[in-house]
Structure formats: C-alpha cells, structure tokens
Amino acid sequence: MTSNLQNNLIAKEEVYGAKNYSPLPIVLNRGEGVYLWDVDGNKYLDMMSAYSAVSHGHSHPELIKVLTDQAKKLSISSRAFYTEPFAEYIEKLSKISNFESVLPMNTGAEAVETAIKAARRWGYFTKGIQKDCAEIIVAEGNFHGRTTTIVGFSSEEEYKKGFGPFANGFVEAEYCRSNCDCSKVCEKSITSIKNALNKNTCAVLVEPIQGEGGIITPQSGWLRQLRDLCNENNVLLILDEIQSGLGRTGKLFAFEHEGIKPDGLILGKALGGGLLPVSAFLSSKEVMSHFNPGSHGSTFGGNPLAARVASKALDLLFEDNLIENSKVMGSYLKAQLSEMKYSFIKEIRGKGLWIGVELDSTISAKKICLSLMKEGILAKETHQSVIRFAPPLVIKKDEIDWALKKIDKVFQKYE
Ligand SMILES: *Cc1c(COP(=O)(O)O)cnc(C)c1O
C-alpha cells in the first residue's frame, strides 16, 4: 500500500525526528478544501482537520490571498510598535465574541498559560488572595496543552511521566461525563468542584467538551451550574475553547449551548484559518487590567501576518456559513452514524462536526483508523477507544454520504 517514496520519507522522520508522535503511515504534500493528497497523488477525505485547526478547509483561496498580500507588505514587527492589522483584528475579535479585551498569543498552550497568569493576578490583586496561595480548579481528563505547568495538572500519566517537578496551585475535580450514572446534571462532578472551592480559589478552568479526553460531552445544565458556583464563590470561570470554539460545535462558542458567558475565554487552532498558529485569551477590561508592560509578552503574538489571517478567518466563519453548516452537517453525520448498529460501538457523542465514536475493548480505534485510511478517509483515534470525526466545517452532504459508506464498509469488516 505505502510506496517506496513514502517509505523513504517515513524512514527519514524515523532517523532524524524525535518520536513524540505515532503518525498513520502516510506522507501528505497537498491539501484543498476537505481533501488531502499523499506524495503519490492518492486523495483522502480529511475527517480530522489537524485537531480542528483546519475548520475553513485546506488552502482556503481567500485566506491564501490575505496571507500572501500581507506577507508582501509586513509580516513581523513585534509589539514594540503598533500595527494596523493588529488593531483591526482585536477590534473584530472583541466585537464578535463580546469580550472587552484581547491578549494575543500563538499556540494554544501559550494562551492557556496566559489565562493562568490572568486568573492568578486577578486572584491576588482583585480578590485579595494571599501571596502565592492562589488555586485553580481543573477537571479530571483535561487537555490544555503541553507546557510543563499544563501537563503538571493533567490526569494523564503518559503526558507527565519524567517531566516533574510540577507547579503548585492546581486542584483536580471531576468532569461531567455524559455516560456517568447521574440521572440529570452530574452531581458527582458538581459536588467535587464544591469540595475543591475555597477562599484561595481564583478560577475554574475547563473545556466545555473535552476533545482529547475523548469528545466527552457533559450533560446540559452542567456548565450553567458551574457558572452559578463561580458567581457564588467569587471565582472566575475560564473556558478553554481552543478546539470547541469558532463553530466546531454548531455555535460560535460551545458555551452558547448553555446560555452562559465565561469570565475568560481561550481560543486557538481554527483562529489561524488553518494557515498559522494564532491563539488568544479574552476577558473583561477588569481582569486584563492586571497585565502591565513587562508582565507578559510574546515575540510573535499578534504579528501583522497572523492578525490579518485571523481577522479574515473570523469573517469567513460567517461569510462561508461555517457555523450553521457545522450544526446541520454535524447532526446529519451523528444521526447516520447512530443508525449503524455494530456490537463494538459503545456510544456516539458530540456536537456539531465534532463526533466521537467510542468502541468497546474488543477492538482498537487505531486499527479502524488504519482501515479507514486505506478507504480514503483520514481520521485519528483519541485514547485508544475513541474514533474522532471532525472534518473541516466546509464539508458538504454528498461528501459525508461518501464517507458514511466507507465507514460502514470498514465497520462491517470488523463485525
Ligand atoms: C489543542 C488544544 C490545546 C493546545 O493547543 P496547542 O496549539 O497544541 O498548544 C489546548 N487546549 C485544548 C482544548 C486543545 O484542544
């Protein structure tokens, strides 16, 4: 199946690269819309979108135009100076999101670190927590990135082993799992968050849906209860919407499903239009006021090239109708997948074009992904037992129908 050309390139990566990933054996060199091509010219439907970073589709012509135009004018100047694209971009992001203030970063993990710094300063300077005592409540099964601080509060041993010592000030509470035994809103989770709250708590930091954790979708009402708990205890609610935000779940932000608004919002991935790493932390003027010159920064954060691309990426969410398409195509894909009755499928969950198929222990999600690849579909497992389907938000019904036939064919083979 894999050609010599591909094998040679894979071998080079094996020789010269650190082995911190376990990629599917395929070497890509082109992307357009929902499709990817390998170096031998074979075509694949992308149902993974670079972990939701490519919501707009590969090489979106309007984003490429903005990218190349801006690259010819000014790309990097640093924030030692004001730039035109940055001013326009943060005004747009603030107005679209309804958050007063924006702090730009590049990768998701950096924006999470920014949120942690903001929450701690707010805790000390507004709430009056004693020096170095601030605590942030995080959820079991969280994924917020790969810095040493962030992996320090992960519950995944694989992410942490050998990387300590870790930072203090993070307390783990239970997440609301749709498949837990609680009848309505997950009482186990709410109780454990209540128990973790104390006078030193400055923030609760969670994903509205846990992506890397396995597309874990909390029961409706959970996030609203969390909002109330944070209000009652004078604690910031900070949502990591790096993966769930910008239309992925069929709303601009996943928190809209619950009719709440967090105090801090972390964005990344699709914000870069599938072309550049662009992330941001958003909050109120009050929370953001605790950053002063010298307290935080990034050489590349908010650069003119990234700002122009992100600005256009935001426009296109509406111009290309990506949010609505995610909702409509997502519920279609989920409904059709749910029609497939195979003994090894435990649960199908998710919102919008972000669907997890959980398999039982008799079958490996990675093997299914390999079989899907042979049928021309690129998907990636998470946590050994979950296949994630998260195609670019531009996907059309006939493309989904084609994928469904192939998925069904692969599932049949394993039944
Ligand atoms: C991907 C992701 C991150 C980390 O983003 P990077 O750009 O890889 O640093 C953080 N939080 C969530 C929810 C993510 O999905």
Report the interhelical angle of 222-232 vs 187-196 (nearest 10°): 20
Distance (angstroms) between ligand 1 centre and the Cα of 109 equals 6
Query: Token digits for 360?
Result: 């039982």
Residue that terminates a domain, selected from 319, 347, 364: 319
Distance (angstroms) between ligand 1 centre and the Cα of 358 equals 21
Question: Mapping DSSP to helix (H, G, I), strand (E, B) and coil, where does residue 271 land?
Answer: helix
Q: Which candidate, 276, 298, 268, places its Cα nearest to that of 79?
A: 298
**198 and 250 inside one domain:** yes
**195 and 284 inside one domain:** yes
Residues whose CB falls within 8 Å of the CB of residue 44, separated by 6 or more in sequence, listed in order: 26, 35, 36, 37, 38, 373, 376, 377, 378
Letter for the amino acid at 47?
Answer: M
**9 and 96 inside one domain:** no
Rounded CA separation 308/272 (Å): 10
**120 and 245 inside one domain:** yes
Give the residue carrying structure tokens 């967090």. Answer: 262
Residue 309 lies in a domain: yes
**3 and 108 inside one domain:** no
Residue 330 lies in a domain: no
- Burial classification of residue 19, based on how many CB atoms lie within 10 Å of its CB (0-12 exposed, 13-18 middle, 19 or more buried): exposed
Question: Mapping DSSP to helix (H, G, I), strand (E, B) and coil, where does residue 104 land?
Answer: strand
Q: Which candidate, 237, 405, 330, 309, places its Cα nearest to that of 66?
A: 309
- Give residue 149's Cα distance to chain centre: 18
Residue 325 lies in a domain: no
- Give residue 11's Cα distance to chain centre: 30
**104 and 241 inside one domain:** yes
Task: Please list the residues that pair with 216 across neighbouring strands.
Answer: 210
Task: Please give the tally of structural domains in the chain.
Answer: 2
Residues whose CB falls within 8 Å of the CB of residue 137, separated by 6 or more in sequence, listed in order: 170, 171, 172, 173, 193, 196, 197, 201, 203, 204, 205, 235
Residue 185 lies in a domain: yes
Alpha helices in 17-83 (DSSP H): 49-52, 61-73
Residue that terminates a domain, selected from 302, 319, 336: 319
User: Which protein residue's CA is at the shortest distance from atom 11 of ligand 1?
Assistant: 144
Distance (angstroms) between ligand 1 centre and the Cα of 108 equals 5
Give the residue carrying structure tokens 């941001």. Answer: 280
Distance (angstroms) between ligand 1 centre and the Cα of 72 equals 30
**300 and 158 inside one domain:** yes
**31 and 78 inside one domain:** no
Catalytic-role residue among 143, 281, 300, 389 = 143
Catalytic-role residue among 38, 46, 240, 320 = 240
Distance (angstroms) between ligand 1 centre and the Cα of 339 equals 32
Query: Token digits for 175?
Result: 């997440």
Residue 42 lies in a domain: yes
**124 and 248 inside one domain:** yes
Residue that terminates a domain, selected from 319, 344, 379: 319
Residue 331 lies in a domain: no
**180 and 38 inside one domain:** no
**120 and 181 inside one domain:** yes
**Ligand 1 atom with the shortest distance to the CA of 268:** 7
Ordered per-residue pLDDT tens for the chain, 415 residues: 579 999 999 999 999 999 999 999 999 999 999 999 999 999 999 999 999 999 999 999 999 999 999 999 999 999 999 999 999 999 999 999 999 999 999 999 999 999 999 999 999 999 999 999 999 999 999 999 999 999 999 999 999 999 999 999 999 999 998 656 665 668 899 999 999 999 999 999 999 999 999 999 999 899 999 999 999 999 999 999 999 999 999 999 999 999 999 999 999 999 999 999 999 999 999 999 999 999 999 999 999 999 999 999 999 999 999 999 999 999 999 999 999 999 999 999 999 999 999 999 999 999 999 999 999 999 999 888 999 999 999 999 999 999 999 999 999 999 8
To the nearest whole number, what is the mean pLDDT of the chain?
96
Task: Choose which residue among 243, 281, 380 to substitute to test ligand 1 binding: the one with the highest number of ligand atoms within 8 A of its C-beta.
Answer: 243
Catalytic-role residue among 251, 253, 255, 269 = 269
Q: Which candidate, 207, 204, 273, places its Cα nearest to that of 53?
A: 273
**31 and 145 inside one domain:** no
- State pLDDT tens for residues 119-145: 999 999 999 999 999 999 999 999 999
What is this structure's pTM? 0.98
Task: Choose which residue among 205, 242, 249, 380 to substitute to test ligand 1 binding: the one with the highest number of ligand atoms within 8 A of its C-beta.
Answer: 242
Which residue range forms the structural domain that includes residue 9? Answer: 1-46
- State pLDDT tens for residues 58-97: 999 999 999 999 999 999 999 999 999 999 999 999 999 9
Q: Look up 240 and say whether it is catalytic.
A: yes
Distance (angstroms) between ligand 1 centre and the Cα of 148 equals 14
Residue 288 lies in a domain: yes
CATH label of the domain that carries residue 102: 3.40.640.10
Question: Mapping DSSP to helix (H, G, I), strand (E, B) and coil, where does residue 35 land?
Answer: strand
Residues whose CB falls within 8 Å of the CB of residue 8, separated by 6 or more in sequence, listed in order: none
Q: CA dihedral in degrees (283, 285, 288, 289; nearest 10)?
A: -170
Beta strands at 201-206 and 236-240: parallel, antiparallel or unpaired: parallel
Rounded CA separation 288/235 (Å): 15
Task: Choose which residue among 49, 106, 110, 144 to substitute to test ligand 1 binding: the one with the highest number of ligand atoms within 8 A of its C-beta.
Answer: 144
Residue 347 lies in a domain: no
* Binding-site residues, ligand 1, Cβ < 6 A: 51, 107-109, 112, 143-145, 207, 211-212, 240, 242-243, 268-269
Q: How many residues does the chain have?
A: 415
Q: Look up 269 and say whether it is catalytic.
A: yes
* 200 in Cβ contact with 178 (< 8 Å): no
Beta strands at 264-267 and 355-359: parallel, antiparallel or unpaired: unpaired
